[in-house]
Structure 1
């Protein structure tokens, strides 16, 4: 299809609208449950108290605020695609935001000192028990009358547009990692699959074996490892041979496909995953994915993704028919002297190039 035809066709699939709205109107939408800011996203969008205070400062000073992107659902409710933290900050400051079991207005938010308005320190929206440190009516009205633009992806648009928009707006932005973006997309697409992945990431045997740093947990790397397992442990040989390009893009694209798959076998995924990591937890535990030194018969260093790709995916592929548990440790140790592993796991070999070799190696090592 010629480029212009592709442009014309795709533009027809994306219907948008936009206009300015006062913060008072944004508040009214939330009070009437006509906007969904996805409370689950709060674990991924984390502004500090200082960032929140600076945002309120910007509103008071009339500094332009970036537009909020929303997607209109069939019931007319707006799903927030980009702007969760901005809106959450407003709703929290005025005492409306519900987070978990916290009641509205339970804890009036106090601002911090900012660069241009140091007197904001300790100020609250409207605390009847502390009028001295509450904003005046004029100051509250100044905030409520300030305007933030909204860009609306209308419900007639192609089903995947809002997820593409979410990914493009948030990648490299306030969210730290691609997996945090994937988690948010998955929450919008298929909350049941997200909750399965979260449960698997919290599975004790899995956590014992991967032994990640606190930083990697904060960056949701455990969820990425779960996703890699789900997408690759039973993938057919032919499609493995065709793996290439950017693996991060592959993970996102394939995650979206399985999230929309109504026939996805959750039981198969769960059994494959738990059997794999129970097996490893009963053998090498946190040595499972560390480098093995045959000359000293010791495991050294930290978690290695290339080892995970061979061992976890190899055991997962055979989870219904595994070798005896007492053989697993020796088979894992044999990988480190295998010429295929040595060739394709070294520095400078990216995932797209190594996976077509390492996944079949794991399946061979753990076959009966």
Structure 2
């Protein structure tokens, strides 16, 4: 057997999958019975517009094939949705079964589409002209979907890689949204724990992120960056952080597989760091200091976060003293350190930026 054949054989053992044809009605029943699982954390990813949802219904009524839906079998045999959230959630919302679809159990009200302009204002089960007919609802319920079932014997890292690839073909999901989905697939308790950290009051207050960044789960990514980097030994080119998104993916999947090992200490460091920042200056700390205007200006600054939050956390984790004049440190960062030592980090790859900001932050935040 050649090396390539051996590699193909080994990789196939890592991902074991079946293809199943199933009606919308059968899939709906699996959801109602709790066999098909859409985790609450995933609801933040359900971002289709009414027009996009209506086009899916149009496709089904016209018999246009729908792309395959991927699910991963958990240790108990249940199916966790891996790819197809928008399609499955739309079908559930259409039937009034999606808890977060506006009013409780309220069905989707469709809009006009290219080929079916009379879909405008129609909904599932409504009487008269506002409702889909019994025949149309039956057509939707009996429409067939292809499901790819990733068996529970598959390697979790292989599931993660598959999900990344599926969502690289024209998807609008951010890397963190993809990462969130697979964390839940490996160990849903980890995702619950990360959400708890992201909602810690002093963390929320100090970041003061806008709605767009919250929708894209940037707060969760900052939590993961903090956990991975605050006490990390930086060595080699780029501090060993080249291709950082992949490094973060690998770190978080390894952490999820070992959870709760190490979580208690990480949580303590996280809480102590942001409580100290909140007491010292809250949301001003992660903004740019303008000497000319004598004020903090602009939105959230990743550079400030990496220097100050990770700098404090390094000393918390190692039991060393850190300076408590956080506002003074933030001013010094922008007035002196960035112009003299750091220079511009705009446009640098993430790993290259970390290789500069993290050591500076550890030095800046040490008690002098």
Aligned positions, number: 363
* Shift of residue 312, structure 1, vs aligned partner: 0.6
Q: 8 Å contact 1:18–1:150 — kept in the other structure?
A: yes
Q: 8 Å contact 1:212–1:303 — kept in the other structure?
A: yes
* Shift of residue 154, structure 1, vs aligned partner: 2.2
* Shift of residue 16, structure 1, vs aligned partner: 1.9
* Shift of residue 345, structure 1, vs aligned partner: 4.4
* Shift of residue 61, structure 1, vs aligned partner: 0.7
Q: Which moved more, 1:23-32 or 1:7-16?
A: 23-32
Q: 8 Å contact 1:306–1:345 — kept in the other structure?
A: no
2:330 is aligned to: 332
2:109 is aligned to: 110
Judging changes above 3 Å, is the alpha-carbon distance between structure 1 residues 107 and 347 closer, same or farther for their aligned structure 2 residues? closer
Q: How does 1:146-161 map to 2 (within 5 A)?
A: 146-161=143-158
For 1:137, which of 130, 134, 137 is the aligned residue?
134
Judging changes above 3 Å, is the alpha-carbon distance between structure 1 residues 204 and 122 closer, same or farther for their aligned structure 2 residues? same
Output the CA distance in 2 between the equivalents of 1:28 and 1:285.
48
TM-score by length of structure 1 reads 0.87
1:224 aligns to 2:229 (yes or no): no
Q: How does 1:46-195 map to 2 (within 5 A)?
A: 46-99=47-100, 106-127=105-126, 130-171=127-168, 173-195=170-192
2:41 is aligned to: 40
Judging changes above 3 Å, is the alpha-carbon distance between structure 1 residues 153 and 191 closer, same or farther for their aligned structure 2 residues? closer
* Shift of residue 321, structure 1, vs aligned partner: 4.0
Q: Which moved more, 1:296-305 or 1:147-156?
A: 296-305
2:307 is aligned to: 310
Q: How does 1:205-224 map to 2 (within 5 A)?
A: 205-224=202-221
1:16 is aligned to: 17
| Structure 1 stretches lacking a partner, 5+ long | none
| Structure 2 stretches lacking a partner, 5+ long | none
Which digits, 9 at most, give the CA deviation of each residue in 1:295-326, with x for residues without a partner?
Answer: 6654333322122111110101112543453x
Judging changes above 3 Å, is the alpha-carbon distance between structure 1 residues 101 and 133 closer, same or farther for their aligned structure 2 residues? closer
Judging changes above 3 Å, is the alpha-carbon distance between structure 1 residues 324 and 136 closer, same or farther for their aligned structure 2 residues? closer
* Shift of residue 339, structure 1, vs aligned partner: 6.9
Judging changes above 3 Å, is the alpha-carbon distance between structure 1 residues 111 and 241 closer, same or farther for their aligned structure 2 residues? closer
1:7 aligns to 2:5 (yes or no): no
Output the CA distance in 1 between the equivalents of 2:281 and 2:49.
40
* Shift of residue 238, structure 1, vs aligned partner: 4.5
Q: How does 1:179-328 map to 2 (within 5 A)?
A: 179-238=176-235, 242-294=239-291, 297-319=294-316, 320-323=319-322, 325=324, 327-328=325-326
Q: 8 Å contact 1:19–1:149 — kept in the other structure?
A: yes
Output the CA distance in 1 between the equivalents of 2:310 and 2:151.
41
Alpha-carbon RMSD: 2.8
SS in 1 for 2:156: coil
Output the CA distance in 1 between the equivalents of 2:349 and 2:25.
50
* Shift of residue 208, structure 1, vs aligned partner: 2.6
* Shift of residue 294, structure 1, vs aligned partner: 4.9
1:358 aligns to 2:353 (yes or no): no
SS in 2 for 1:148: strand
Output the CA distance in 1 between the equivalents of 2:232 and 2:339.
20
Output the CA distance in 2 between the equivalents of 1:239 and 1:190.
32
SS in 2 for 1:89: helix
* Shift of residue 101, structure 1, vs aligned partner: 11
Q: 8 Å contact 1:341–1:358 — kept in the other structure?
A: no
* Shift of residue 72, structure 1, vs aligned partner: 2.5
